[in-house]
Amino acid sequence: MRTRLRTGVAARGADLGPGSTRTNADRHRPWKHHKQTEMSAATGAPRMSGLRQQPAAAKRKRWGGLRQQWKLLGLFEIDEQHEFYSLTGMMKEGLAAAIQNTVDNPPTTELSDDDFRQEVTKVHENFTMETFAGNVFASLRGSLGVTENEYQQSLCSESCYLQFISNSKSKADFFLTNDKRFFLKTQNKREIKFLLANLKVYMEHLKNYPHSLLVKFLGVHRIQIPRNHKKYFIVMQSVFYPDERISARYDIKGCEVSRWTEPAPEGCQVIVVLKDLNFEGQVITLDHQRPWLLRQVEIDTQFLCTLNVLDYSFLLAHQPLHHDERHQSLSFASLIVRAKKSVYSGSSPVHAVPGAVPEYDSPMPTSDSPTASERLNAEESSPRGGRGQAQPQTGELQDFQAQNRRLLPNLKNPLHVIDGPEQRYFIGIIDIFTVYSFKKRLEHMWKRLRHPGRSFSTVSPQAYCVRLCQWIQDHTK
C-alpha cells in the first residue's frame, strides 16, 4: 500500500469526479478477505465461484426481486451475495487505513488552514482511497467523545454493513454500520465541493453552539476502482441511535406537497420514514425543554440560511420512556453526570469532549477531565482569582446561555436525544447540501404555477428557515 499526501484546494474541480457506475463483475466481487476462487479446468486460471457464473439475465431477475423486498424491509444486510458487497468491503479496508493514520498521527489542538485543505491518498491492491481534511474530522470526532479506536472498530468490523432503502428522491446509496451507529452516504461532486468549501464555517458553528442539531459529518472520502468512475461518500453520526425501541420516524420539511408516506401495516416490523402530513394531529411534548428546542432550531436554520441552503429535513423519532427512565433522569447522581456532559466551556469541537464541568466544590475525583482540574488550578493561582470561584462559575453560566446549551441526557447519542415527560425524542437536521441556485429558482416558479395555494419545499432559504421554525413551534408544547 502506497501513501500520497497532497495539500491544496481540497475540492478542486478536476479531482472531484461524478458518481460511480460498475460492471456486473465489479458488482459481485466480494471483499478480498472473503474471496473464494477455484481453478478453471480449461485454462488453469482462477475463476470466481458461485453466483458470478450465472447468466446476466438471471442475475438481473434475482436482484430485481431482492430490490422489491428491500423497498419493504428498509434495511438489508450486505452479505457476499449482495451487489454492494465488493464496494463496501473496499470501503472498510480503505477506512481502516485512513483512520489508522489519525491514530498514529493525532491532530494538534489548533487546526490550521492546511488541515482544511489536506488530502491523503492511499493506494490499495484493487482500489485507491482518498481522505479529505482528515485531521479536521478526527478533531470533530474527538470533540463528540468518539475515540479513533471505537470509530475504526465500528466502521471496519467483520460484520456486514446494512443497506438502507429510503423513500428519498435522492440517487445516493445509504449504508449503516452493523451496530447502526454511523451512516455512510454516497455524494456527488457538487455536494462534496460545497461541504469542503464550507467546512471551516461549519466547524465554527459547532464550536459556537456545541449542542447544535446539525448532522455531524465525521469523514469525507473518495474511492477509485480501476475501470470505474470515482465515488465519493461521507460518514455521519446516525441521529436515530440507538434505535432498538424507536416506534416512529419522521422526515419533516414544514410543507405539504408530496409530504405523505403510506405507513407500514399495524404490527409490521418494516422501517418506514414518515413525513409532515403523517404527523398531523400529533405534538412533541417537551415541557420546560421546549424553549431550548425552538431556539436551537432557529440558530441552526439561520446558519443554513447564510449558506443559501434549503430543502433540509428535521429528523424526528420517538419512543416511550420506561418507568425507571422517567425518574432516573431526575436523580442527583444522574444530574451530576448530565451536568458534566453539558456545561464545561471546553466541550465544543476542536477543543475537548463534551464531558466535564469544573469541579469547584465537589470532593469527587474525576478521571475523565484533567483539563478541568488544570484550568481550575490556573484560575486559582492567577492574580484575578482572589476571592475566587464565583468568576469562573459566572463565566461558565454565561457560556452556557450564550451557546444555548441544555442539560444533556446520559446516553450514547446525547446531542440528538431529548426527553419529554412521557417520550424520548431523537432529533436532528440533515441533508444540508441543496443551494438555492438558478435552477432551484426556476423550480420554485414552476411549482407556484402547479401547486397554487399549497406549500412546497422549493422556496427561498429565508422562507424555508422561517417556515420550518414555525412548524416546530406549532407542533411542540
Same domain, yes or no: 295 and 152: no
| pLDDT tens-place string over residues 2-42 | 555 554 444 434 344 433 444 433 433 334 344 333 333 33
CA distance 164 to 240: 13
Q: Do the domain assignments include residue 320?
A: yes
- Phi and psi based region of residue 88 (left: phi greater than 0; alpha: psi -120 to 50; beta: remaining): alpha
Please count the structural domains in the chain. Answer: 3
Chain-centroid distance of CA 173 in Å reads 14
Same domain, yes or no: 93 and 105: yes
Same domain, yes or no: 341 and 319: no
Same domain, yes or no: 233 and 260: no
Task: List the CATH number of the domain containing 442.
Answer: 3.30.810.10
Helices 148-156, 134-143: inter-axial angle, 10-degree rounding: 110
pLDDT above 50 for 186: yes
Same domain, yes or no: 115 and 206: yes
Same domain, yes or no: 224 and 270: no
Q: Do the domain assignments include residue 103?
A: yes
Last residue of a domain, one of 369, 402, 435: 402
C-alpha cell at 280: 398531523
Residue with cell 485512513: 98
| pLDDT tens-place string over residues 413-448 | 999 999 999 999 999 999 999 999 999 999 999 999
Q: Do the domain assignments include residue 242?
A: no
Same domain, yes or no: 42 and 178: yes
Highest average pLDDT, of 3-17, 285-299, 346-360, comes from 285-299
In this structure, the chain runs to a length of 477
Within 8 A by CB and 6+ apart from 16, the residues are 189, 192, 193, 222, 230, 232
Domain that holds residue 30: 2-237
Same domain, yes or no: 393 and 347: yes
Helices and strands per DSSP (H, E), number in the chain:
16, 16
Q: Of 170-179, 283-292, 430-439, where does mean pLDDT reach its minimum?
A: 170-179
C-alpha cell at 171: 440517487
ω before 242 within 30° of 0 (cis)? yes
Last residue of a domain, one of 203, 237, 271: 237
Q: List beta partners, residue 175.
A: 163, 184
Same domain, yes or no: 120 and 149: yes
Residue 219: HSE in the Cβ half-sphere, 13 Å Cα cutoff: 31
The residue among 384 and 237 whose pLDDT is bigger is: 237
